[in-house]
Each structure stands twice: as structure tokens, then as C-alpha cells.
Structure 1
Amino acid sequence: MLIAVIAGCEVGFWVVLAAGLATRYLLRMRGTGAALLLGVPLVDLVLLAATTIDLHDGGTAGFAHGFAAACLGYSVAFGHSTVRWADERFAHRFAGGPPPRGKPEHGAARARYEWREFGKAALATALACGFLLIMIAWVDDADRTEALHGWLSRLGVVLAVWSIWPITYTLWPAKPKAPSPPAEHGP
């Protein structure tokens, strides 16, 4: 059942985001659109409540509970930038806004960008691990929370893999592409 709630919340996140942006830009109702966008984090609260209620009612923590904690951590850490990313594209496409900012292509700017994204991933991992530890302490039953302990190391592995990008861009920064030589035209 919890997997269905997680899937519903993931879909709900994008539905609420799209509704907020459509209301803001297509219907030109900026205040209502902003209010809908403030509802995006409420989807996370639904997921948190469902997970908590399931454990409170005597459920044994399983894969879904750990996954819910991971989803919450990543949603909180990346939520604002995801909304900003979507807003820039929607404004450009439907409201004549400026072209969206892309990520830097090369050099120190790209390395800084990758480290900033890694910082968000580290925050997401810390939040998810915090949610897991709170669930473990709250249930206070090692048999019922055994599956959550495995998630602590899983999240650590994900963060370690994520660290490859900023390290790579720092040690071997991408260089600007050389302009192509003009094509030769025959006689």
C-alpha cells in the first residue's frame, strides 16, 4: 500500500507543479499559481504522514519505508531548484520569459555547479538518514526496523557515486569546444 502512496505522491508533485505553473502563466492568475506552488511541499507531508501512520499502526518497516525517507530527503533538498527549473522553462515557453539558464558547459563554472549539486545531494542524504533514524528510534523495535538500517548504507553509496561528477569536473575540467573550420566549397 505504501508503494502506491509513494507513486501517488511522486505523480502528485508533478501535477501540483504543472497546475501551479499553468495557473500562473496560462491563466495569468499569479497569486493563485503561487498558492498552488506552495502546495508542492504538502505532497511531501502526505508521504511523511502515510509512512508514519503505517509504522504507528504496527507495520514492519520494509523497502517502501526506506524509499519514502529517501524520496522525502531528495524532495526537500532538490524541490526548490526543481520548481525554479520548471518555472524558467514554463515562463519562457508560455509567457515570453527569457531563455532558461542552462548549466555551465566547462571550466571552473561547471565544477562549481557540480559541487553545488553535490551539496544538495549531501543535504538530501543527511535528511533521508535523519528521517530513517527518527523512524528507527520512534518504533524502538529492532525487528520491525531492520530494513531501515540497510537504507543508511544505500544512501551513502548513492552519495559516493554522486561525488564522481564534481571530482571529475574539478580534476579534469571540460574545455570549450574549438570552433569548426569552415566547410570548403568546390569550384
Structure 2
Amino acid sequence: MTVLQEIVPGKLYDPAREEYAFLRQEAKSKLYDYNNLHPKEEKLREKAIRDLFGSCGSNFWIEQPFYCDYGSNIHIGDNVYSNHNLVILDVAEVRLGNNVIMGPNVGLYTAGHPLDSERRLKGDEFALPIYIEDNVWIGGGVTVVPGVTIGKDSVIAAGSVVVKNIPSGVVAAGNPCRVLREIGDKDRAITDFRK
């Protein structure tokens, strides 16, 4: 069992613990190197992400800059793309399925803080996993909070704040993010997206 696996989802833990601080510092060092690689250094970029993440599929691209807490709790499938400024606070597990696309400035936050100020001021935190299933498109500026699952084939509109699970095959938008409608045959027939 790794030190991070000792964190029980939904239970308070102390993020200032020396072992956690060390792992975050190691990840920050790797991220510094990654974010400063030349964009044409594709093989080095892929190796850096593979060395940082818990697991990676094939054919992924994470635009620079990218930020995370630990990296080892991030697992991505095949054909994953993220635009610039992706932030993943991966205290708990974050799993991205196959064919996931994310716009710029997306935040996936597994970490949370107690609502009562006494425990919050002590520095206690909790974490809950985030799961994004296959074929999901997440628009720019979306925030996903701890404990959320986004179902396969769904689209999350730009600027949304996802605070609850989103089912499969829907368009969802807003703050808080709500299901607008199912994705259906009429969506497959659209050829001009300006309308």
C-alpha cells in the first residue's frame, strides 16, 4: 500500500504530513520539467507524463502547462486530449476513459475542505474520486468537484461547475451543472454548428 492509498475517500486527513509534502514536491519537480519542454519534444513529453501518471493508454496529448498534486492517482485511457491549463488535484483517484476531450482551463478537483471552520483551520482535508467515462467532451473552463462521475458519451458545456453525477449520453451545462437534454439522432445530422 502506498502512502496515498492510506487516504480513505471521504475521511479527513492531514495534507501537511511529511510524506504527502514530499510526494507533492516530487510531482512539482516533474511538472516543472514537463511544462518547460519544447513543444516539438513529443517523445520526451509522452515519457514525462507516463512517468508522472499512475497509468496511461495510447495516443494521448496533454497541452502545456499542466498541473496536478501527485500524478500517481491519475489514470487515462486511449485517445485523451487536454487543452492548456488543465489542473487535476489528484489526492483521490482520477480516471479518464477512452476518447476524452477537455478544453482549456479545466479543473478536476478531488480535494475538499470541511465546512466548519474549526476543522478547516486545522488544515484538514478530504478527497473523493472523479470518474470521466469514455467519449466525454468537457468544454473550456469547466470545474468538476470531488466525488463526481460523468457518464459516457456526454458533453459538458463550457464554464459549467459539475457538482453531481452526470448520466450517459446527455448535454449538461450551468452552475450548478444540470442535464439539458439527451444527445440523439438530430445531433448526428447537424452539419452546420453555427445554427
Tell me the TM-score normalised to structure 2 length: 0.27
Q: Quick one: higher RCO (CA 8 Å, sep 6+), 1 or 2?
A: 1
| Structure ranking higher in strand proportion | 2
| Structure ranking higher in helix proportion | 1
Q: Which has the larger radius of gyration?
A: 1
